Structure 1
Amino acid sequence: MKKLLLLAVLKLVKIISSHEPPITGRIFPFNLLNCRITSEVCPNKDITFYLYTRTTQMEPHELNVANPETIKEAKFVTNRPLIVLIHGFTGHKNETPNTEVRPAYFRRGEYNIISVDYQPLAVSPCYVHAVLNLPTVANCTAQLINYLIQESLFTLDNIHIIGASLGAQTAGMMGNFIKSGKLKRITGLDPAKPLFVFAKNSHRLGKNDAEFVDIIHTEVMLRGVLFAIGHVDFYANGGLQQPGCDKQKQKMTGNCNHVMASKFYAESINSEIGFYGYKCSYWLQWFIGLCQPSNQTELAGAFASKEARGSYFFKTNSKPPYAQGK
């Protein structure tokens, strides 16, 4: 079993570091634990989309480009932004970042929120296969966005993509498939690191994937990326141990530090004091103590300035409200 897993990993690294077309549709010479790679077809039965609004959040409406009536019948809130949420490994429409971010936006006001659900393609322990499925998830999500723009329901100016973990990397891949221009904003909530360190740019999230890419890092030593990859990168508590995620809680949940990025972002939507980080040139400089809090600060989260550039560091409380303000 270990030998088969090693072969799978080596093959994946070769694929994602190559300069070949998107990696969907590649079939391994064996089937590991019934893991599978979906077809490249969009729409795809394994990838579904649900529209939530403030008044319909308990009864979301499924959208299907193959059935235009589902989009015509959808009760989009006119003149309000569209937020697209993409979950990570082992997730679904009612997992991080959806459960944190959706209700926070609806407490603030009227929004159109589409939750992408690709649960059948991201089941445990099939991480390698989940990564291979991401370009198809990105393609199908972009297909829906392209259709909504074509039907004049939205423009790129009022669409915001938010992805957590693998969902953040998926958001980055969407730029390969958007037809009408570049996405305006992508927010990456602790983007996944395993198998993406050496991936080529078109297969991972980076600052070229949208006009503004902002990142919140919360677990840089394990699941999340360490290096700055956006226009602005915020490191909560240095991206290391998060207050409130003690060893017992981390052992129970397995990913407490990782999901805190989604919790911090959700709180930022309605916070009166906000998460303000001070600037430091890069993470290692902060880690060895060469950076001190300064007046050069930026606000992290939902209302981050689109002019912000560089790396910023902020501390949080161990329980809500997490924000400490300036």
Structure 2
Amino acid sequence: MKSHRLLFLLGFLILCKGQEESGDSELCDDFTDLNLSHCFMGTLLYVRLLLYTRSNAHCGRELLHHGPWHQPLFDPARPTAFVVHGYRPTGAPPIWIDRLVQQLLARDDVNVIVVDWNKGAANLNYFTAVTYTREAAQNLTQFILNMQEEGTSLDNIHLIGVSLGAHLAGFVGAQLKGKIGRITGLDPAGPMFTSASPDERLDPSDAQFVDVLHTDMDSFGLRGAHGHIDFYANGGADQPGCPKTIFAGKSYFVCDHQRAMFLYLCALNQTCSITAFPCSSYSDFLQANCLHCEAFRPAPCPKLVYDLSPWRDALLRMGQTKVFFSTSSTLPYRKLSYRVDLVTWNQYLRWGVVYIRLHSGRSVTEARVDHKLLRFEQFTSTRLLAQFDDDISTVQKISMRINTGNVIGPRYKIRLVRVRFTPLDQPERPVMCRFDIFMEENMEVSFRPLPCNTN
């Protein structure tokens, strides 16, 4: 019996000795994980700063608030990205934290600092979390000032704020007199901020450059424009693929709001690269009234990407700019978009919606232009925005149908004197044309497109 105890003790000492020799290299600081009991009782604010670099990409190291220079992994000469989460009603860590950290590090050699204020954000009382944003912002501001004293340039600081965290980032920027390089707001929180003045929420003066992505303006997100450039996905409200009824449970409440982060992650790893168009409203965008970007030349239309430097100077010159785009319901979210110009020569005035199919072998994708009834009359030019969920790089055949809703009368002829398809997302692809197409209302007609310069 004693021998067993001696063996156990010896093994224990060997284990401890091994841990001593390994040092702290395997000890990681993780994001605060709370549960519903903490939320019911309420949490007092406590801010933790977790550093990730390419040397410790999967192992966070908590920084002391009086200075990151005590952490050898922190390099003040590198750019620094702060990730600021929002309200946490369940206390659980955000599901996107690790993915965002990894993609930021994969893209650039930066210091990524996760601002963990879960103790404070985890309260069933949302208003309590809102009040804590000011105190957390003061904490983070002082930390950045300490960084600056150690050689970090404010130009190289990027705050990425999610929901309530977007306003927290704005408060930090305001306290630093708008001198930090950039703030990105991902669907800034709406409740308690709808009627707020610019100094009470995120606004363009909070940083040298502010970009904002909206996905849930009719619920948890904030309406309006709050950056130098505001991206509105599908108009900034309801997102495709998200539940439409409360029977879907939690997803019904959070899906639209969370889509901002998933779109940003997609843009960050460059699998989306979605083109957006400056416009006054989503309705005008869908009506093909805004499919031009002359103000940004020689740069192309803005894209939902991480690096917005090609458009930055123009945006700062133009002031606040709204840009709109549509997405599909799943990764990689981008749609294939064409500007379609029709010239009709039908004898009778017709109203209807247009269906367009693109074919390549067995692959088919369809666009339905039905946001409003379109007017077709004699020798009239009509411009449409056709958006397809699937990308077909080589179009072999096009099918079109104009649905007028006429089911009892004779089918009237519709003559397309010219139809022209201009790719909007891939300008290197050919513009496709066809002339003198005869069709009946509600009947599909197919044709092989030709390069426009050969007609």
Give TM-score, length-normalised by structure 1: 0.78
Match of 1:18 in 2: none
Where structure 2 has 5 or more consecutive residues not aligned to the other structure, the ranges are: 1-38, 294-300, 337-424, 426-455
Shift of 1:281: 1.9
Query: Would the alpha carbon gap of residues 158 and 93 (structure 1) be closer, same or farther in structure 2, given more than 3 Å must change?
Result: farther
Match of 2:334 in 1: 323
Letter matched to residue 83 of structure 1: A
Shift of 1:293: 5.1
Cα distance in 1 for partners of 2:92, 2:137 equals 16
Query: Would the alpha carbon gap of residues 243 and 283 (structure 1) be closer, same or farther in structure 2, given more than 3 Å must change?
Result: closer
Cα distance in 2 for partners of 1:245, 1:160 equals 30
Match of 1:102 in 2: 101
Matched residue SS, 2:334: coil
Cα distance in 1 for partners of 2:69, 2:92 equals 18
| Percent of paired sites with the same residue | 32
**Rg larger in structure:** 2
Does structure 2 conserve the Cα–Cα contact (< 8 Å) formed by 1:102 and 1:113?
yes
1:159-170 aligned within 5 A: 159-170=157-168
Query: Would the alpha carbon gap of residues 246 and 261 (structure 1) be closer, same or farther in structure 2, given more than 3 Å must change?
Result: same
Cα distance in 2 for partners of 1:272, 1:266 equals 9
Match of 1:86 in 2: 84
Match of 1:299 in 2: 303
Query: Would the alpha carbon gap of residues 295 and 100 (structure 1) be closer, same or farther in structure 2, given more than 3 Å must change?
Result: farther
The answer to whether the aligner puts 1:271 opposite 2:270 as a matched pair is yes
> Is the strand fraction higher in 1 or 2?
2
Shift of 1:34: 4.2
Match of 2:444 in 1: none
Cα distance in 1 for partners of 2:144, 2:209 equals 18
Does structure 2 conserve the Cα–Cα contact (< 8 Å) formed by 1:165 and 1:189?
yes
Where structure 1 has 5 or more consecutive residues not aligned to the other structure, the ranges are: 1-31, 39-45
1:82-138: CA deviation from partner (whole Å, max 9, x where unpaired): 100100000779416523421222232422100001111112412000001101111
Match of 2:239 in 1: 242
Query: Would the alpha carbon gap of residues 82 and 295 (structure 1) be closer, same or farther in structure 2, given more than 3 Å must change?
Result: same
What is the aligned counterpart of 1:206 among 203, 206, 223? 203
Matched residue SS, 1:223: coil
Please identify, of 51-60 and 315-324, the stretch whose mean Cα deviation from structure 2 is larger: 315-324
The answer to whether the aligner puts 1:230 opposite 2:230 as a matched pair is no
Give TM-score, length-normalised by structure 2: 0.57
Shift of 1:283: 5.3
Cα distance in 2 for partners of 1:128, 1:300 equals 32
Query: Would the alpha carbon gap of residues 150 and 93 (structure 1) be closer, same or farther in structure 2, given more than 3 Å must change?
Result: farther
1:247-298: CA deviation from partner (whole Å, max 9, x where unpaired): 4796333311111111111211221551210111245755xx5554513221
* C-alpha RMSD of the superposition: 2.6
Cα distance in 2 for partners of 1:212, 1:255 equals 28
Higher-RCO chain (CA-CA 8 Å, sequence separation at least 6): 1
Query: Would the alpha carbon gap of residues 135 and 278 (structure 1) be closer, same or farther in structure 2, given more than 3 Å must change?
Result: same
Cα distance in 2 for partners of 1:144, 1:315 equals 39
Letter matched to residue 312 of structure 2: K
Query: Would the alpha carbon gap of residues 244 and 80 (structure 1) be closer, same or farther in structure 2, given more than 3 Å must change?
Result: farther
Cα distance in 1 for partners of 2:182, 2:137 equals 15
Query: Would the alpha carbon gap of residues 252 and 93 (structure 1) be closer, same or farther in structure 2, given more than 3 Å must change?
Result: closer
Cα distance in 1 for partners of 2:304, 2:243 equals 24
Aligned residues: 282
Does structure 1 conserve the Cα–Cα contact (< 8 Å) formed by 2:76 and 2:150?
no
The answer to whether the aligner puts 1:142 opposite 2:141 as a matched pair is yes
Matched residue SS, 1:267: helix
Shift of 1:210: 0.9
The answer to whether the aligner puts 1:313 opposite 2:305 as a matched pair is no
Does structure 1 conserve the Cα–Cα contact (< 8 Å) formed by 2:158 and 2:183?
yes
Cα distance in 2 for partners of 1:300, 1:78 equals 29
